[in-house]
Amino acid sequence: MAGLLDGKVAIITGAGNGLGEAYAKLFAKEGASVVVNDLGGARDGTGADVSAAQKVVDAIGAAGGKAVANGDDVSTVQGGENILATAIDNFGTVDILVCNAGILRDKTFANTSEEDWDKVIKVHLKGAYCCALPVWKWMKDHGGGSMVLTSSTSGLYGNFGQTNYGAAKAGIYGMVRVMSIEGRKYNIRVMGLAPGAYTRMTSDLPGRIGKEPDPLSLPENVAPGVLFMVSDLAAEHSGKILGVSSRGVREIKMLQTGGFQPGRPYTAQEVAEHASEVFFPNAEERTAATA
Ligand code: NAD
């Protein structure tokens, strides 16, 4: 049977573990040649070991798929360029990019150090820039392609203890919105992803410690949603953000109310009096834990 990604070349960053590993294995199974990038460090971004990427490449090869490992750091311009070069040197082009690499350094805002702030912003937000820009330029000159940038409910809704991470992930949301508009004329599609899965990043969330993971919460159950996003099946959906988790697949959207529109100068007191027009009724509080 024809695969959804037959003949395509995909780059997946941070694919040595967790969600990226599941995407790499599924994309390869669907016919893509895959660049498995991973720096191979610890959850907080310290350390480096290319064996993380290599083990995924070996597993893909053993299953009859095509993949190559890359151990570059996504958060440097040189790293992003090297990752693209790995795709071109080994497979001749790139059609798909999933920016997935990430780290965590959770602290309440009062306790956030400058070092932790900079590191988290650098890996997630600058990392998306460093990897997407060279690929973007390649796609622009070679007929287009599709990108998925990984955001998070932490940035889209907010989550306790994650100002650095939430800021980076909300920044990625902004990148998706702007890049999807600019990408129209080059046939480059860009979607945002807010995943939810049991990985080393989330295994110590409240309620998960010491428990066997719900099988539905494993990365393998997020991968089909992301396969949909990078494939031609999602051709009409550039610029949209999908939440993909054990609860399935859903769109997450920025909305505004009809608002208080006086059409004349107004006072602060009047805004308060028209609160039912300014604010959404029954606004639901959402957190990463419930998404
Ligand atoms: P993970 O820790 O299992 O995988 C992240 C991978 O990124 C690791 O293999 C790590 O080595 C790699 N990485 C880190 N820094 C890198 C760098 N500078 N260069 C290259 N590779 C680097 O975590 P995961 O849960 O699979 O997360 C994948 C993505 O999904 C992350 O962006 C994360 O923020 C996001 N996310 C995950 C969840 C979830 O529920 N697991 C929720 C929201 C968002």
Q: Does residue 54 contact residue 33 with C-beta atoms inside 8 Å? A: no
Helical residues (DSSP H) of 63-162, grouped into ranges: 77-91, 114-121, 127-141, 153-156
Q: What is the pLDDT of residue 285?
A: 53
Question: Positive or negative, the Cα torsion across 37, 190, 198, 67?
Answer: negative
Beta carbon of 16 within 6 Å of any ligand 1 atom: yes
- How far apart are the CA of 267 and the centre of ligand 1, in A? 47
Beta carbon of 38 within 6 Å of any ligand 1 atom: yes
- Which positions are catalytic? 165
- Across 74-88, average pLDDT: 98
Question: Whose CA is closest to 83, among 135, 22, 24?
Answer: 135
* Whether pLDDT at 92 is above 70: yes
- Could you tell me the pLDDT band of residue 283, with boundaries at 50, 70 and 90? low
Q: Does residue 146 contact residue 186 with C-beta atoms inside 8 Å? A: no
Give the tens place of pLDDT for each residue, 207-248.
Answer: 777 788 888 999 999 999 999 999 999 999 999 999 999 999
Question: Whose CA is closest to 38, among 16, 9, 60?
Answer: 16
Q: Does residue 70 contact residue 64 with C-beta atoms inside 8 Å? A: no
User: Which residues lie across from 66 on neighbouring strands?
Assistant: 33
* Cα–Cα dist 283/151, whole Å: 22
* Whether pLDDT at 132 is above 70: yes
- How far apart are the CA of 168 and the centre of ligand 1, in A? 13
Q: What is the pLDDT of residue 206?
A: 73
- Across 91-120, average pLDDT: 98
Closest residue by CA, ligand 1 atom 30: 100
Closest residue by CA, ligand 1 atom 31: 102
Q: Does residue 98 contact residue 148 with C-beta atoms inside 8 Å? A: yes
* Cα–Cα dist 98/111, whole Å: 32
* Cα–Cα dist 16/55, whole Å: 7
> Residue 99 is inside which H or E element, if any?
strand 96-99
Q: What is the pLDDT of residue 137?
A: 98
Q: What is the pLDDT of residue 68?
A: 98
Beta carbon of 52 within 6 Å of any ligand 1 atom: yes
Q: What is the pLDDT of residue 102?
A: 98
The fraction of the chain above a pLDDT of 70, given in percent, is 97
- How far apart are the CA of 256 and the centre of ligand 1, in A? 31
* Whether pLDDT at 191 is above 90: yes
Number of other residues whose CB lies within 10 A of the CB of residue 272: 10
Closest residue by CA, ligand 1 atom 15: 102
Q: What is the pLDDT of residue 207?
A: 74
Beta carbon of 21 within 6 Å of any ligand 1 atom: no
Domains in the chain, ordered, with CATH?
A: 9-252 (3.40.50.720), 257-291 (no CATH)
Give how far Cα 167 sits from Cα of 117, 164, 256, 286, Å: 9, 5, 21, 17
- Could you tell me the pLDDT band of residue 35, with boundaries at 50, 70 and 90? very high
* Whether pLDDT at 162 is above 90: yes
Q: What is the pLDDT of residue 288?
A: 44
* 114-121 helix and 163-183 helix, angle to the nearest 10 degrees: 30
Q: What is the pLDDT of residue 291?
A: 44
Q: Best substitution site from 38, 56, 205 to test ligand 1's pocket, by max atoms within 8 Å of Cβ?
A: 38
- How far apart are the CA of 5 and the centre of ligand 1, in A? 23
Q: What is the pLDDT of residue 287?
A: 47
- Could you tell me the pLDDT band of residue 284, with boundaries at 50, 70 and 90? low
Average predicted confidence (pLDDT) for the chain: 95
Residues 6+ apart with CB under 8 A from 20: 12, 13, 14, 36, 38, 98, 100, 101
Half-sphere exposure of 240 (CA within 13 A, CB side): 16
* Whether pLDDT at 205 is above 90: no
Burial level of 269, CB count in 10 A (0-12/13-18/19+)? exposed
Query: What's the gap between Cα 218 and its chain centre?
Result: 16
